[in-house]
Structure 1
Amino acid sequence: MTSISLLVVFPFLMAYAAVRDLLTMLIPNTVSIALVVAFAAFAVSGGLGWDVVAWHLGAGLAALAVTFTLFALGYIGGGDAKLVAATALWIGFDQLGDYLIIASLAGGALTLGLLAIRAHPLPFAVARLPFALHLHDAKTGVPYGIALALSALIVLPDTAIWLRMLPA
């Protein structure tokens, strides 16, 4: 049961966040809440000690403090800030740096790709899709949830909780 959260719930929620951000430019609060609830269930069913849970809570709270500040300054969206914090809860401090570096690189590549696409007219078949028109608009931001989700899925197998729950 414990591995279900790691193998199914976490990846599903990450994929859902990425797709929702791509299609709507919003990451619903329910995704971040579900990640927190799923982590709590994972911690209980996996028998994580209070010290481990506290360490992961610290990572989530630290990420929330930084990303909330970035949101307040207008650098990132609120959904992105909450998704980073909820993801940091799962990842913990041990891989948090890698998660943020990979997310930054993926986000940079995504941004450059969008800028390149926005420099050209959309093909007719794609131009009829409302989300494509919205995404193509230069006033629209970048669906950074895609980079955050990709990074989380790349880093998760190297985290201490993954290695603990799924022995090689």
Structure 2
Amino acid sequence: MSGSIVASLSVLGFASLRDIATRTVPNWTAAALSLIGLAARVSDGTLLQAILASATVFLAAMFCWRRGWLGGGDVKLLGGTAMVVPPFAIPTLISYVALVGGVMAVFYLAARGLVPQAHKAPPQSILGRVLRAECWRIRRKGPLPYACAIAIGATLVFYRLGVS
């Protein structure tokens, strides 16, 4: 597996965990993905196509943000992720992200009635606190951690391209 893919998946993994825990995606994650993608696209000679495709994805995601369908961090993360995958694979990336996001949405909708009320004493571990917060968000129809859908979509693209 190439270093750029390992670095990209590491950044996406961090962004996903952060999104689950706090529903924020740090700006540096999108910037890091853009830089990793820039280096990868220079090496394979598709820099111009990648910049145009990534800008198109970013603008389309901004439209979704304006409609309230995506968060601002997700828009930036998706634009950065579009630089990491080869330009010809961007439609596949968008398809996978939408599919995974849809599955997550169905799961969250189904879980609303199943998630128990929180206990009075807060958990001591960080994982326990994150799970408690996630249950609270699900019960109150909070936003999805869409960075997870973006990360899984990118992972599936790399897998489909035969990167192992």
Give the TM-score normalised by the residue count of structure 1.
Answer: 0.80
2:152 aligned residue:
150
Off by >4 Å, runs of 4+ in structure 1: none
What is residue 4 of structure 1 aligned with on the other side? Answer: 3
Q: By how many angstroms is 1:118 displaced? A: 2.2
CA distance 1:158–1:94, change in 2 (3 Å): farther
Structure 1 residue 84 corresponds to structure 2 residue 84: no
Residues 95 and 158, structure 1, Cα contact 8 Å, conserved in 2: no
Counterpart-to-counterpart distance in 1, 2:30 and 2:143: 20
Contact kept in structure 1, 2:74 and 2:146, CA below 8 Å: yes
2:129 aligned partner: 130
Tell whether the 8 Å contact from 1:59 to 1:92 is kept in structure 2 after alignment.
Answer: no
Where do residues 1-168 of structure 1 align in structure 2 (5 Å cutoff)? 3-6=2-5, 8-44=6-42, 46=43, 48-49=44-45, 52-122=46-116, 128=123, 129-136=128-135, 137=137, 138-159=140-161
Structure 2: gaps (5+ residues):
none
What per-residue deviation string (whole Å, max 9, x for no partner) do you get for residues 66-121 of structure 1?
A: 01111122211001111111111122431112111111111111111122222123
Question: What letter corresponds to residue 75 of structure 1 in structure 2?
Answer: W
Determine what percentage of the aligned residue pairs are the same residue: 24
Contact 1:15–1:149 (CA under 8 A) maintained in structure 2: yes
Q: Distance in 2 between matches of 1:100 and 1:108?
A: 12
